[in-house]
Amino acid sequence: MNLSSVAIGQYMPGESLVHRLDPRTKIMLSLVVVVALFIVKSAWAYAALGALIIGTVMASRVPLKMVLRGLRPLLFVMVLTFGLHLFMDPGEPIFRIGKIVATDKGLAQGLITVARLSLLIMATSTVTLTTSPIAFTDGLESLLKPLSFVGVPAHELAMMMTIALRFIPTLLEETDKIMKAQMARGADFETGNIAKRARAMIPILVPLFVSAFRRADELAMAMEARCYRGGQGRTRLRQLRLGTLDMAALALVIAYAVTVVAVL
Amino acid sequence: MKPVIRVENVSYTYDGGGPGEVDALLDVSLEVAGGELVAVIGHNGSGKSTLAKHMNAIFVPTRGDVYVLGMNTRDESRLWDIRQTVGMVFQNPDNQIVATTVEEDVAFGPENLGVPPTEIRRRVDEALSIVDMTGHEKSAPHMLSGGQKQRVAIAGVIAMRPRCIVLDEPTAMLDPVGRSEVLATVRRLATDEGIAVVHITHFMNEAVLADRVVVMEGGRIALEGTPREVFSQPATLRRLDLDVPQVTELAYELRAAGAPLPRCPLTVAELVDDIAALVGKGARQS
């Protein structure tokens, strides 16, 4: 097993208009679309919002396949909810399997729920596929900053995300090293039932945790040595700037979403 | 020149009064001036790392005082001024890089100081060029070699415009290539940038590059002088269980065997010159 091949995030670098949008614009717009998805009820509205999302994906030149891949982990949930709606909702029967009756209203409701879930994931995936994790973190910090007056630790959250992103590859590398060291001494991670394999992970997790704590300790010292004392009075190398492109995108998408909610 | 760092009769006791009480430093005094490269060598437990951590107020002395540009490290109100004046580079490059790209990490220090963005940009570019890492601005730290990572860590400190940089065994985890890259950078910091540099190491041949060598043993300074002065005392060094550089060792063996070598060579080139001179003279005489 080669752990270094694990992809972090799913950012697809590019130069399209969507890529060039300010991360705050993208986060806000995905929120607008998500809210709209929860308000609308008609099939036409879902089609309109779906067209908006797919249009954005096209404009970003990210293969649609990558966006659809995000749906895979939720496939089971979608099939389950669809099935539950189809067979459990009251309505006119369409067909029956033994004693279980599928209804027309169930079918409609099931389709709507599946559409809502898929579009939700596609909208958020579009953001993460076109925004680098660093830009995303910056955007989130900037958006949450007004909330820090009510106690939302905006800077701390962003710093935690940055450090996590920074250390995921390092810790994966270390896990790989520890596993190889244990395998060289005869440890077996590949055979046996789940319980046995889980037990085999203990000799990996213990040194990994010990080392992670040591790293955290050293990192804290190094950060303090470089005058880190929280978000107060901190400046940033990269400044986020809302350009005309962002204004245009915000105006257009919000107008579109409002129209869809109001009309359809 | 006025010293940047003045260590005056410092003693430090770990876990004072507790069961694990250890005297890590005993009455140590040391001054470091701008543009000077001081190597501190010694075994594990000799107190060299403890000494380093006194220089930017990570530790405060049990007895004695440490002054950074006249600021006492006991004065908590000056803590951040002191940390800005004395930069610190640690042993493990992986555990001191904070950000996900090289330029973001170099910018981390200036960002903490509240430097304006355009000025940060300028400092980042300058610091990366000093450590010879221009062109790696957007690289992810985990894709770099050990030597490159350590040079990024050094750039991160340079970008804060410190007057002194303390490097605590910066080469201990590096391969020979990375080690020589970092050493060349360390030497340049003192010579070209006029920064006071304290290089903590346990490699004897790294101390050769320094202007002054301080040998620590059991929490005290056992020996101090230019590399040549220190390494021309092989008996003392051996008593302290420290090696002299291989080439110096060879010169001693030769001298013991009767070769009239004029000085204690520190580099292979020096010894080659000396031997060439000797052989040339002999050839002319016969």
Residue ranges of domains in chain B: 3-244, 245-286
Question: Is residue A36 located within the same domain as residue A119?
Answer: yes
In a domain, A252, yes or no: yes
pTM: 0.83
- The residue-averaged pLDDT of B134-140 equals 91
Q: Are residues A8 and A124 in the same domain?
A: yes
pLDDT for residue A2: 45
Q: Is the predicted pLDDT of residue B285 greater than 80, yes or no?
A: no
Domain identity same for A71 and A111:
yes
> Of B224, B271, B276, which Cα lies nearest the Cα of B252?
B271
| Cα–Cα dist A141/A127, whole Å | 16
Q: Indicate whether A44 belongs to any domain.
A: yes
Confirm whether A136 is domain-assigned.
Answer: no
* Mean pLDDT across B97-122: 94
Q: For residue A222, what is the nearest residue in chain B, using CA coordinates?
A: B96
pLDDT tier for residue A239 given thresholds of 50, 70 and 90: confident
Nearest C-alpha neighbor of B57 from the set B82, B38, B90: B82
Q: What is the pLDDT of residues B52-61, one digit of tens each?
A: 999 999 999 9
Cβ-based neighbours of A6, under 8 Å, separated by 6 or more: A172
If pLDDT is split at 50, 70 and 90, which confidence band does B282 have? low
Cβ-defined contact of A166 to B124 (cutoff 8 Å): no
C-beta atoms surrounding B189 within 10 Å: 25
Residue B163 in this model has a pLDDT that exceeds 90: yes
B110: contact with A, CB 8 A cutoff: yes
Same domain, A104 and A24: yes
Q: Give the model confidence (pLDDT) of B180-198 as tens digits.
A: 999 999 999 999 999 999 9
User: What digits encode the pLDDT tens for the residues A60-86?
Assistant: 998 988 888 888 888 999 999 999 998
Q: What is the mean pLDDT of residues A8-26?
A: 86
Of A133, A222, A235, the CB nearest to B90: A222
Predicted confidence band of residue B284 (pLDDT cuts 50, 70, 90): low
What per-residue string of b and e applies to A67-101 under the rule 16 or more CB within 10 Å gives b? Answer: beebeeebeeebeebbeebbbebeeeeeeeeeeeb
**Chain B neighbors of A224, CB-CB under 8 A:** 58, 83
Q: Do residues A13 and A127 both lie within one domain?
A: yes
Q: Is A134 on the interface with B (CB under 8 A)?
A: yes
Using the beta-carbon criterion (under 8 Å), do A225 and B58 form an inter-chain contact?
yes
Q: For residues B208 and B222, is the Cβ–Cβ distance under 8 A?
A: no
Contacts of B116 in chain A (CB under 8 A): 235
Q: Is B87 on the interface with A (CB under 8 A)?
A: yes
Candidates A237, A238, A239, A241: best to mutate against B (most CBs of B within 10 A) is A237
The distance of B86 to chain A (nearest Cα, Å) reads 9
- Would you call A235 and B80 a contact, using CB atoms and an 8 Å cutoff? no
Question: Domain range spanning residue A190?
Answer: 149-225
Q: Is B79 a residue whose pLDDT tops 90? A: yes
Q: Is residue A258 part of a domain?
A: yes
Task: Check CB contact of B94 with chain A, cutoff 8 Å.
Answer: yes
Domain count along chain A:
2
CB B182 within 8 A of CB B151: yes
Check CB contact under 8 Å for A227 and B115. Answer: no
Mean per-residue pLDDT, B10-35: 89
Please indicate, yes or no, whether residues A72 and A111 belong to a single structural domain of this protein. Answer: yes
Q: Both A8 and A116 in a single domain? A: yes
Dump pLDDT digits (tens) for B202-255: 888 888 889 999 999 999 999 999 998 998 888 888 888 887 888 888 888 888
Q: What is the mean pLDDT of residues A45-72?
A: 91
φ, ψ at B198 (rounded to 5°): -115, 115
Same domain, A54 and A166: no
How would DSSP label each residue in A124-171? HHHHHHHS-HHHHHHHHHHHHGGGGGGT--HHHHHHHHHHHHHHHHHH
Q: Report if residue A60 sits inside a domain.
A: yes
Based on the domain organization, do A26 and A90 belong to the same domain?
yes
Contact A86, A110 (CB under 8 A): yes
Is A170 an 8 Å CB contact of chain B?
yes
Q: Per the domain annotation, does A235 fall within a domain?
A: no
Check if the beta carbon of residue A200 is closer than 8 Å to that of residue A39: no
Band of the pLDDT at B113, cuts 50, 70, 90?
very high
Give domain status of residue A92, yes or no.
yes
Residue in chain B closest to A134 (alpha carbons) equals B100
Least confident of A30-39, B165-174, B215-224, B270-279: B270-279
The mean pLDDT value of chain A amounts to 88
pLDDT at position B280: 79
The CATH class of B3-244 is alpha beta
Asked if residue A125 and residue A64 are part of one domain, the reply reads: yes
CB contact under 8 A, A169 and B110: no
CA distance A153 to B125: 31
Residues of B in contact with A170 (CB under 8 A): 94, 142
A28, part of any domain: yes
Could you read off the pLDDT of A138-193 as tens digits, one per residue?
A: 999 999 999 988 988 999 999 999 999 889 889 998 999 999 998 898 888 877 78
Contacts of A229 in chain B (CB under 8 A): 80, 112
Same-domain status, A110 and A205: no
| Residue A125 and residue A208 in one domain | no
Instruction: Please name the residue that has the structure tokens 């879902």.
Output: A46
Residue B253, chain A, CB below 8 Å: the answer is no
